[in-house]
Amino acid sequence: MALEDAKGQVDLAFTRDDLKGCAFENTFGGATSFLRRKYTKDLKGVDLAVTGVPFDQAVTNRPGTRFGPRAIREASTLQPYDPPYGWGFDPLGDFAIADYGDLAFDYANVAGTPAAIEAHIAGILAADVGAVTLGGDHFITLPILKAYAAKIGPLSVIQFDAHSDLWADDDMDRVDHGTFMYKAVKLGLVDPKRSVQIGIRTECDDYLGMEYIDARTMHEKGAAWAVARAKEIVGDAPTYVTFDIDVLDPAFAPGTGTPVWGGLANWQAAAVLRDLAGINMVGGDVVEVSPPYDASGITAVAGAHVAFELCCLHLWNKR
193, exposed or middle or buried, with CB in 10 Å at 0-12, 13-18, 19+? exposed
The one-letter amino acid code at 192 reads P
Q: Is 17 annotated as a binding residue?
A: no
Do you find a cis peptide bond into 135, omega within 30 degrees of 0? Answer: no
Distance CA 227, CA 244 (A): 17
Q: Is 163 annotated as a binding residue?
A: yes
Nearest-10 Cα torsion for 257, 144, 300, 247: 60
DSSP 8-state secondary structure symbol assigned to residue 292: G
Distance CA 61, CA 59 (A): 6
Give Cα 259 to chain centroid, integer Å: 18
Q: Is 138 annotated as a binding residue?
A: yes
Main-chain dihedrals φ then ψ at residue 160, nearest 5 degrees: -95, 120
Distance CA 171, CA 157 (A): 22
What residues contact 283, with CB distance under 8 A and at least 6 apart? Answer: 130, 131, 132, 133, 144, 148, 240, 241, 314
CB 147 within 8 A of CB 118: yes
Q: Is 236 annotated as a binding residue?
A: no
CB 246 within 8 A of CB 258: yes
125: left (phi over 0), alpha (psi -120 to 50) or beta: alpha
CB 247 within 8 A of CB 269: yes
Binding site residues, as ranges? Answer: 138, 161, 163, 165, 244, 246
Binding site residues for Mn(2+), as ranges? Answer: 138, 161, 163, 165, 244, 246
